[in-house]
């Protein structure tokens, strides 16, 4: 793990910039557990579960900090929580109203008992987005000592028996495209 020694941020966070409703999906905030707080080097965390009219859920986690001490990877969190990574690949997001596409990573997983989950992962700061850990390192290094706020933006959805993995990936991609502009705004970017 790399020690980056970032300065504290003066940038105000606006968690309310992330909407509670997205195209008919209603979001409910979830509390952050003591165990999660102990693991996260963060200044703020938004955990929210969105549910649509047929009961499908998409969970998001947005972890904000200007003092990242090291790199975070989806792989370490997922495998540490007991999920096996089945497949991992990049996707490109095209958020509405933004001229530049955003890079994200899809991680398909399988848990105990064969339950499947898909996660979509990005790292966001005012310089852009990435899902590549080496790009994340360079983005953090360029921010060193400047107190710039950044966040991990993670979305996940369980694969129900009536779903295909491809349909879940497409749903998460569209969901991320809708939320990414507001996540950027929440950073003050």
Q: How many helices (H) and strands (E) does the chain have?
A: 4, 9
Highest-confidence segment of 26-30, 78-82, 102-106: 26-30
Do residues 130 and 103 touch, judged by C-beta distance below 8 A?
Answer: yes
How open is the CA angle 78-3-122, to the nearest 5 degrees?
40
Specify the 3-state DSSP secondary structure of 168. helix
Domains of the chain, with CATH numbers?
17-186 (3.40.1000)
State residue 121's pLDDT score.
86
State residue 124's pLDDT score.
79
- For residue 1, give the DSSP letter: -
- pTM of the shown model: 0.80
Residues for the chain: how many in total? 189
Percentage of the residues of the chain whose pLDDT score is greater than 90: 31
State residue 116's pLDDT score.
94
To the nearest whole number, what is the mean pLDDT of the chain? 78
**Is residue 31 over pLDDT 70?**
yes
pLDDT band at 34 (very low <50, low <70, confident <90, very high): confident
State residue 4's pLDDT score.
30
Higher pLDDT, 121 or 187: 121
State residue 66's pLDDT score.
67
Specify the 3-state DSSP secondary structure of 164. coil
Specify the 3-state DSSP secondary structure of 4. coil
HEC states along 82-118?
A: CCEEEEEEEEEECCCCCCCCEEEEEEEEECHHHCEEE
State residue 112's pLDDT score.
83
Q: What is the average per-residue pLDDT within 66-77?
A: 65
């Amino acid at each position: 793990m790399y020690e980056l020694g970032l300065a504290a941020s003066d940038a105000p966070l606006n968690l309310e910039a992330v909407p509670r409703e997205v195209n008919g999906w209603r979001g409910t905030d979830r509390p952050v557990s003591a165990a999660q707080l102990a693991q996260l080097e963060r200044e703020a965390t938004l955990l929210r579960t969105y549910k649509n009219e047929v009961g499908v859920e998409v969970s998001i986690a947005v972890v904000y900090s200007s003092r990242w001490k090291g790199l975070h990877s989806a792989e370490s969190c997922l495998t540490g929580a007991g999920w096996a990574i089945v497949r991992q690949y990049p996707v490109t997001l095209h958020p509405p109203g933004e001229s530049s596409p955003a890079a994200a990573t899809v991680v398909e997983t399988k848990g105990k008992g064969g339950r499947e989950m898909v996660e979509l992962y990005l790292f966001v700061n005012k310089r852009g987005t990435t899902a590549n850990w080496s790009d994340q390192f360079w983005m953090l290094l360029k921010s060193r000592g400047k107190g710039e706020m950044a966040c991990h933006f993670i979305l996940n959805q369980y694969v129900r028996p009536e779903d295909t993995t491809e349909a879940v990936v497409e749903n998460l991609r569209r969901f991320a495209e809708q939320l990414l502009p507001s996540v950027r705004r929440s950073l003050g970017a």
